[in-house]
Chain A
Amino acid sequence: MSSIKESEANYVNPRGIPQAPFVEKVEDYVQSRDQVESILKSFQDMLQKYKFMEMSTLRREAGLKEKIPDIQKTLDMVKFLDASCNTDGELESITTSYELNDTLYAKAKITPRDTVYLWLGANVMLEYTNEEAIDLLSSKLKSAKDSLESCKEDLEFLRENITTVEVNTARVYNWDVQKRKEDREAAELK
């Protein structure tokens, strides 16, 4: 185990995902042929853990990708309402076809005011002034985009480690095949 680089072996990324150990020289890493099987198995375990993390991060990413357009839409609407009640002191009513239910639209005349109601989830809705609503939605949008970025970063990091482990596996395996062949040839010479 001496050939694993210590500093890199202990590295974790900002979300605490550990970096996979890298096998520098197979012959140092594998002290005897008997170890090959257990080493390959430990790589297999590592690989599985990384794949599992990859799966759950992918799910998180998909969730965020759905959430971001939703926030964006609400933000767009609040901005529009705010703009249309700001333009002139006189409040002009807006005619809209709004979605009453899935695929069912109804016509409504609304007068924008300086407050809106935001659905916060968990059966709670709160009244906000337009300005506050825009601030709130903007910050939610930003944090969602930030976590999407870190999701992507994690996925790339996981990908890197999966590759490392796969290459480790291939090299230890090849080394073993090579050794077997040498043994066989040595035996034939005798």
Chain B
Amino acid sequence: MQMLPAGQENKDTEVSWVDQQKINAFSKLNTRMSNLEDEYEAQKQEKEYLDDVTMEMELIDEERVQYKIGDAFLYLPQPEVLERLEQDIVNIDTAIEETESKILLVNNEMDDLKKYLYAKFGDSINLER
């Protein structure tokens, strides 16, 4: 984010406290957005891993498999591992949904702020990434 480049003529736009707060809010949301995007990517990745491993686990022909809890691997019966994996998938799905709705919310707020700020400051402000 930047204001007028040095030396360029000031186009007489007063920045009021309300404007400043809106600029700040935008900046804050921008950071929050990039954090959320990282989180979302990580969760997607985790979900993919879980899907793959569940697929493998359904095919595997062993009575007991090693399932990691904490830092240790435990020899658990295959059906129990499947059950645990299914629970893991449910958990990650909820987490992904949560992140998605947060992203949507932030996006909407940012769009509103963008409209306001561009209407007020026009070319004097740059809100693109």
Contact = CB atoms under 8 A, between A and B. Distances in A.
Contacts of B20: 22, 164, 167
Contacts of A96: 72-75
B75 A94 contact: yes
B59 interface: no
Given A163-B24, A170-B3, A174-B3, A8 B71 contact: no
A177 interface: yes
Nearest to B14: A25
A22 B23 CA distance: 12
Contacts of A171: 3, 15
A24 B16 contact: yes
Interface in A114-131: none
Contact of B71 (A73, A159, A163): A73
Interface stretch (B25-33, B48-56, B92-100, B108-116): B25-33
Contacts of A177: 6-7, 10
A159 B27 contact: yes
B1 interface: yes
Contact of B72 (A77, A155, A170): A77
Interface of B: 1-4, 6-10, 14-17, 20, 23-25, 27-28, 31-32, 64, 66, 69-75
